Amino acid sequence: MRRADRLFQVIQILQSTGNVITAAMIADELEVSTRTIYRDIQDLMANRVPIRGEAGTGYILDKGYDLPPLMFNEEEIDAVMLGVHWVLSNGDPDIQRAARDVLGKIRSVLPKDRQELMQSARQVVPQPPQQAPIQISMPMIRRSIRERRKLEVVYRSLSGDISQRVICPMIVVFFQNIQLLVGWCELRRDYRNFRMDCFQQAVPLDRFFSRSDFESLDSYLKRSKESQQSEKSG
């Protein structure tokens, strides 16, 4: 790893942690010696990066510090390109357009050698099977999730039954050829997985919910994952 990349990652670790972290912990994450991290932090502090702390106690980065312009290392660029290619293969048209915009913005601020790494990335994301068409607006669904806004929906089950419900949308889950919306269903008074291609209609309401009201969501997702793994192993 280039030293410039390592210094950048030290700042990233300090910024993402938000609390006091020791040089040994940073060294373990970056797979270098503690002595190397001590030198790096001293150099960063000498260059006016607002790091507070001392050896043996730990370090913390002052809030409000902005990282310098994007300086992705090779692995980070590969990760970005893999994610963008996956979205381009699996996302709806609006999120695909957003992914292409992200690439353009990243290219515009990267140094030339980093841009060349983006162009030379060699990772292939297989094209998924043909997905059933989704009739409702995915940008609206994502916006409702971010705003924690309830939705009034008309839903047609795979057996053909049609129901009208109010749901609290939580997350969208991507599978190979379908997308699921996980949410709290007021009709069933429980969490439900809704196939996105089965929605006939979805209208945002002027009613909101709090994520703290659904602290059991993580438990539900864990149970669902365990159930899927059990079905595969069986």
Per the domain annotation, does 129 fall within a domain? no
User: pLDDT band at 124, cuts 50/70/90?
Assistant: confident
- What does the angle CA 140 – CA 175 – CA 152 come to, to the nearest 5 degrees? 30
Question: Tell me, what CATH number does 164's domain have?
Answer: 2.30.30
**Domain, as residue range, for 9:** 3-61
Q: Per the structure block, which two tokens stand in for 146?
A: 């971010």
28 and 49, same domain (yes or no): yes
Size of the chain in residues: 234
* pLDDT value at 210 more than 90: no
143 and 225, same domain (yes or no): yes
Per the domain annotation, does 194 fall within a domain? yes
35 and 95, same domain (yes or no): no
Query: What is the Cα Rg of the chain in Å?
Result: 23
Question: Tell me, what CATH number does 51's domain have?
Answer: 1.10.10.10
Per the domain annotation, does 132 fall within a domain? no
Per the domain annotation, does 221 fall within a domain? yes
pLDDT digit string, tens, across residues 1-24: 677 778 888 888 888 887 899 999
d(CA 26, CA 69): 22
114 to each of 157, 162, 192, how far by Cα in Å? 48, 52, 44
Q: What is the pLDDT of residue 153?
A: 97
Q: What is the pLDDT of residue 68?
A: 58
Tell me the pTM: 0.64
The answer to whether 130 and 175 have CB atoms below 8 angstroms apart is no
Long-range contacts for 12-19 (Cβ within 8 Å, ≥24 apart)?
12/67, 14/51, 14/59, 14/60, 14/61, 15/61, 15/65, 15/67, 17/60, 18/60, 18/63, 19/60
223 and 142, same domain (yes or no): yes
213 and 173, same domain (yes or no): yes
Per the domain annotation, does 130 fall within a domain? no
Domain count, the chain: 3
* pLDDT value at 234 more than 60: no
pLDDT digit string, tens, across residues 140-171: 999 999 999 999 999 999 999 999 999 999 99
157 and 217, same domain (yes or no): yes
Per the domain annotation, does 144 fall within a domain? yes
30 and 83, same domain (yes or no): no
